[in-house]
Amino acid sequence: MSHLPPTRLSAQFPAFTRALGDDDLAALSRALTPRELAKGEALLVEGQPSSSLYLVTGGRFGVRVSAAAGPVIVATVGPGAVVAEVSFIDGGAASATLEALEPASVLALDRDAFDHLATSHPAVATRVLANVSASLAARIRAATDRFDTLAPIDAIVDDAPGILDRLYSLFGLSRS
């Protein structure tokens, strides 16, 4: 597969390419390496270090995590997905295994290519980091919300406009 034309890159990955102009997109596009995967091939392996970010351009991947009871497929991702952002930033272990469920294709942003981009087009690299940061922020908000349904409670607080206040006002009670 050849490089995606810049216009297709921004159409398929709007959040990742936000606020990048045509010349910026062309520079970013040149930093991306196309890669094909056969059905059953792993793009990422849970627990193994990774330092590339991947844009999924074709095919679907199963996202598998290990649990005490055995591996579980927690999601599938397809074209338009941006994966491995956390490892791209910190070079740490992949938090899940991504395996191609069918013949698939990705565009890889390797760390070396990104560092080269940061030298040749620093403003583009800074914008890409800002866009990845926005995605990480959204994932932190989502994870924090999930946390509420699972974590033990440290304290009941009444300084926040919570359900207790709504119940009190509903029944016309005053809080003493």
Partner 1 sequence: MPVTDLLRQNPHLSRLAPEHLDALDDAFVVASLADGHVVARQGDRGGEVFLVVEGEVEVSHVHDGQRRSLGRLAPGEFFGLVSLVDQGPRSATCTVRGPSKVAALSAGASALLFHTHAPIGHAFQRALASQLAADFRRVDARLRDLYEQRTSQA
Please state the length of the chain: 176
Q: Is 157 in the site for partner 1 (CB under 8 A)?
A: yes
160 lines the binding site for partner 1 (CB under 8 A) = yes
Binding mask 127-156 for partner 1 (x = CB under 8 A): --xx-xxx-xxxxxx-xxxxxx-xxxxxxx
CA gap 64, 50 in Å, rounded: 16
- Contact criterion met (CB below 8 Å) for 127 and 19: yes
Residue 67 beta carbon to partner 1: minimum distance, rounded to whole angstroms? 7
Applying CB under 8 A, the span of 16-24, 33-41, 75-83, 121-129 interacting with partner 1 comes to: 121-129
Q: Is 19 in the site for partner 1 (CB under 8 A)?
A: no
What is the spatial distance between Cα 30 and Cα 113, in angstroms, rounded to a whole number?
9
State the number of CA atoms in the 13 A half-sphere of 36 facing the CB.
5
Q: How many CB atoms lie within 10 A of CB 112?
A: 11
Pick out residues in 39-78 that bind partner 1 (CB under 8 A): 65, 67-69
At position 62, the amino acid (one-letter code) is G
Of 11, 38, 73, 123, the one binding partner 1 (CB under 8 A) is 123
Q: Distance (Å, rounded) from C-alpha 105 to C-alpha 130?
A: 25
Binding residues (CB under 8 A) for partner 1: these are: 65, 67-69, 85-86, 89-90, 92, 95, 118, 122-123, 125-126, 129-130, 132-134, 136-141, 143-148, 150-158, 160, 162-164
